[in-house]
Structure 1
Amino acid sequence: MEIREVLVDVVLTIILVVSTLTLVWRVWQDLTMAVATTLMMLSLGGLFLSLNYKIQQLDASVIARERTMRVNLEEISRTMEQKYDNTVQHIDATVNDITRRMYR
């Protein structure tokens, strides 16, 4: 994960904490309440960051599985095509053999 992707989330979390601290400080002017609310908003911001990281990991995992499935399907397709070609060749050889026997 690149820093540019997380930078927006970190900045928004900092803004959330600072605005909460300012709001609580102006309204109640109680240091304990301001610190508790700030910690609560900081943990909420951390939760958002954690969820964002987990969602990105799940997205990468889904993309990797999809790529693996696509490769497996292509391999199965090639194998089935080879089996089909072998069967058609065998049937053609059998039909040609039977045709030669009928004209003798």
Structure 2
Amino acid sequence: MEKIIPNKELLPKKYKIQECIDNLKKNEYRIVLRSIPNIIGKGISTFYNYRDILIDDKEDIPFKIARKLEILFGLENGGLETKKTKGKHYLQIIEEHRKRQ
């Protein structure tokens, strides 16, 4: 039985990088793509790897780089994420700990 491998380009991405790039005009697209390595301090292939991170991958973009991309594309803090990060506030953790004791 053959294992069907889905096209990686069609799988949901963790970050909206490609979506942001697709919203650029053709002349803006070329300028921005050339500028991104200098902006994030990484090579273009690293940027493409960041763009291709899937939603279920454990890999992440370093916060500082993600924030630079958010600023570049005019997004709010956390706006680059496809799926919002959830977590508990430290006071909630402390309260839960106290209830267990």
TM-score, normalised to structure 1's length?
0.29
Higher relative contact order (CA 8 A, sep 6+): 2
Greater Rg over alpha carbons, structure? 1
